[in-house]
A and B are shown apart, each in its own frame.
Chain A
Amino acid sequence: MTQKTIHTSDFRPLDVKAIREDFPIFADTPPLAFLDSAASTQTPRPVVEAMDAYYDTYRSNIHRGIYRISEEATKQYEIARQKVAQLINAPRTSQIVFTRNTTESINLVAYSWGSMNIQQGDEIILTDLEHHSNLVPWQLLAQRTGATLRFLEITDEGLLDFTQLRDVLSEKTKLVAITHVSNVIGTINPIQSVIDAAHTAGAKVIVDAAQSVPHFHVDVQQLGCDFLAFSGHKMCGPTGVGVLYGKLELLEEMPPFLGGGSMIRSVERDVSTYADVPAKFEAGTPSIAEAIGLGAAVDYITQAGLASIHVHEQELLKYAHERLQEIEGITIYGPAPHQKAGVISFNIEGVHPHDVAGILDTHNVAIRAGHHCAQPLMKKLDVIATVRASFYLYNTYDDIDRLYEGLQKTQTLMTRRNK
C-alpha cells in the first residue's frame, strides 16, 4: 500500500561529492557527520547566494514600492512562488501561500477553514504518527468547537493500520489530518488511499508533507489532497518560510487568518474587503529573502533530481539498517527499510538516548535524541525517547560508518560495568 512516485525517467545517480562542495559546513576534515536533516537541513551556497543578492542588490519591501528595486523584489518573490507551485504540481501559482513553516500552515487551516467548517459533534481523524504540529492545532480547534478527535493506530510493524479508517470514517468526519512520512520512524503512509477514502466519505484531507516534499516527488493534483503543508528549512531552504497549498475553491471561501497590511483590498473604519488568494493569507511583510531562498532551494533539489535523492536515501537507509543491526542491544523502531523514508529511530539497551547523542557528538556525529515532538507515538512504542538518524542528499556511507563506530564506542563505554 506504500506509494512512492519515482519518476525513473529522470533518475541519475547523485554526484554526492559535487553536492557536498556546495555545503561549506562539510569542508572540515574529518567532516561533520550530519544525520539530523529531519529536524532541519544544511544550506547550499546557491541558496545563501540568492538571499545575499536580495540583501546586497535589491533589498526592499514587496507589492508597494513604485521603484525599480521594489519591483525586482516583488518579481523574485513571485518567481519563488511559481517554483514551489511547479515542484508540487499545483494547478495555479496562487494556490501557494507562504507561511513561516509547516506549523503555521496547519494552524492557518485549523483557524480559518476550521472556524467555518467544524462544529460540535464533528469528527477529525488523525493518526498516532503525527508530529505535535499536526495534533495540537486540532486539539485546540476541537476545544473551541466541541468537535471530537479520532485516531488511526499503527501496527506492530510501525505501519498505519489502514483497515481502521473504514470503521472510523463516517458522515461526522469533516477532516482527515495525516502526515505523509513519520518524522520519528520514517513510515511512508498510504496517503493516496486515505485521501480517496476520505473524499468518498465527504471529508477533506490535509497532508503534513514536512518530511515528504523535501525527499521525493509529491504531486498535489495526482493526490487530490485539499491542503498540504511543508517547511523550507527541511529542504535546503532557509528557516522562516513555509508553504501551504490549498484547493482554490477552499482558499477562496476561507476567511483570513491574520489581519493587517497586504491582505486587504480596501479598508474603511469598520469593515474591509480582502485581497485575493494568496495575498489574503499573507498579512504583513513576509519573509522575502527567505521565500527567494526557498525558490533557490527548489531549484537546487530539482536539479539534483528528487528521484535521485530518494534512491540515494534508500541506499543509505538499507546500509544503515545492516550496520546498526550488528550493534549489541540495539532496537530499531518502525518498518523495514523499503517501507520507510530516510529516517531510522533506535535505542541501545541500557543507554539513555541523550547519552548516545552526547557521546556521538564528541565524535562529531550529529544525531537527534528525544521524543521528536511526537509524544503519543513514543507512548505507543513504549519508550520515553529514541535516538534518530536521518539522511539527505549530502550524506555518505562514510557518515553511517562513523555513526556505527560511535555507537560501538558508546556501547563499550556505557555498558562496561553493567554486565
Chain B
Amino acid sequence: MNIYQEELLDHYENPSNYGVLSNPDVSHEEDNPLCGDKIRIDLIVEDNIIKEVRFCGHGCTISLAAASMLTEKIEGKSLEEVKKLSRDDIMDMIGIPLGPVRVKCALLALKVLKTGAYGIKGWPGEEDG
C-alpha cells in the first residue's frame, strides 16, 4: 500500500483542529531534528478531560496527518486514556507500514502531546529516548 493514499492526504490538506488556543492549560512544541519538522499542541483540560485541542506546525504529510488524526482521537478523552496511547496506536491510526525514518515523523505529535501533558521525554515506544 502507498503512503500517499487519500486518507492521509486529506488530513494533510485539511487538517482537523489546526490552530492555537488563546488560554491553553498545556502548550508544548517540539521538533524532529532529523528533518526540522515542528509541531505545537495546545490543550484545554477540565476535570482531567481534554476539552479542546489544537495543533500547528510544519512538516511532511506523515507528521501533519498523524497530528491531525491524533487530535481527533484525544478530544474528549481523559488524560489517563491519553497517557496509554502507544506507538502501536499511532501506527494503527496511520494504517500503513512505515520505514524507520518516517516512523519518527508519525510519532512526533504523540511525543509533543506526552511531553506537554506529562513531561514524558523520549519517543514513545523507544527505550533509549
Residues of A whose CB lies within 8 Å of any CB of B are 352-355, 358-359, 362, 369-371, 378, 384-385, 413-414, 417-418
Question: Given A352-B60, A418-B13, do A358 and B4 touch, yes or no (CB 8 Å)?
Answer: yes
A362 to B8, CA, bound (A): 15
CA distance A388 to B62 in the complex (A): 20
Tell whether A370 pairs with B34 under 8 Å between CB atoms, given A354-B105, A359-B4, A413-B4: yes
A384 to B38, CA, bound (A): 10
B94 at the interface (CB under 8 A from A): no
Whole-angstrom distance from the CB of B4 to the nearest CB of chain A?
Answer: 6
- Within the complex, which residue of B9, B13, B14, B102 is in contact with A354, where a contact is CB–CB below 8 Å? B102
Which residues of chain B come closer than 8 Å to A413, judged between CB atoms? 4, 9
**Other-chain contact of A371, B36, B61, B101 (Cβ < 8 Å):** B36
Known: A354-B62, A354-B105. A417 touches B13 (CB 8 A): yes
Answer whether A370 and B4 are a contact pair too, CB < 8 Å, given A352-B61, A413-B9, A417-B13: no
Q: Which A residues are in CB contact (< 8 Å) with B58?
A: 352, 384
B13 x A362 contact (CB < 8 A): no
Task: Determine the chain A residues whose CB is within 8 A of the CB of B60 once the complex forms.
Answer: 352-355, 358
Which residue on chain B has the smallest CB distance to residue A413? Answer: B4
Are A385 and B36 in contact, with the CB atoms below 8 A? Answer: yes
Q: A413-B9, A417-B13, A418-B13 are in contact. Are A358 and B61 (CB under 8 A)?
A: yes
CB of B39, distance to nearest CB on chain A (Å): 13
Which chain B residues (22-70) contact chain A, with CB distance < 8 Å? 34-37, 58-62
Complex: A358 Cα to B103 Cα, angstroms: 13
| A127 to B: closest C-beta gap in Å | 22
**Closest chain B residue to A358 by CB distance?**
B3
Q: How far is the CA of A352 from the CA of B38 in the complex (A)?
A: 12
A361 to B13, CA, bound (A): 21
B interface, size bucket = 10 to 19
> Could you give 18 example pairs across A and B, Cβ below 8 Å?
A352-B37, A352-B59, A353-B60, A354-B35, A354-B61, A354-B105, A355-B60, A355-B61, A358-B4, A362-B2, A362-B3, A370-B34, A370-B35, A378-B36, A384-B58, A413-B9, A414-B61, A417-B14
Cβ of B105: which chain A residues have Cβ within 8 Å of it?
354
With both chains docked as a complex, state the minimum distance between the C-beta of A123 and any C-beta of chain B, in angstroms.
29
For A371, the chain B residues whose CB sits under 8 A away are 34-36
Bound Cα distance A266, B80 (Å): 65
How many angstroms between the C-alpha atoms of A385 and B101 in the bound complex?
14
Residue of A353, A358, A384, A418 touching B102 (CB-CB under 8 A): A358
Cα A414 to Cα B3 with chains together (Å): 13
Chain B min CB distance to A408 (Å): 14
Inter-chain CA distance A247–B2, complex, in Å, is 53
- Residues of chain B within 8 A of A369, CB atoms compared: 35
Pairs of residues from A and B, 10 with the lowest C-beta to C-beta distance, nearest first: A384-B36, A354-B60, A352-B60, A355-B60, A355-B61, A417-B13, A385-B35, A362-B2, A359-B4, A385-B36
Alpha-carbon distance A287/B102, docked complex (angstroms):
32
CB nearest neighbor in A for B2: A362
Distance between A187 CB and nearest chain B CB, rounded to angstroms: 22
Q: Chain B contacts of A417 at CB under 8 A?
A: 13-14
- Set of chain B residues within 8 Å of A384, measured between Cβ atoms: 35-37, 58
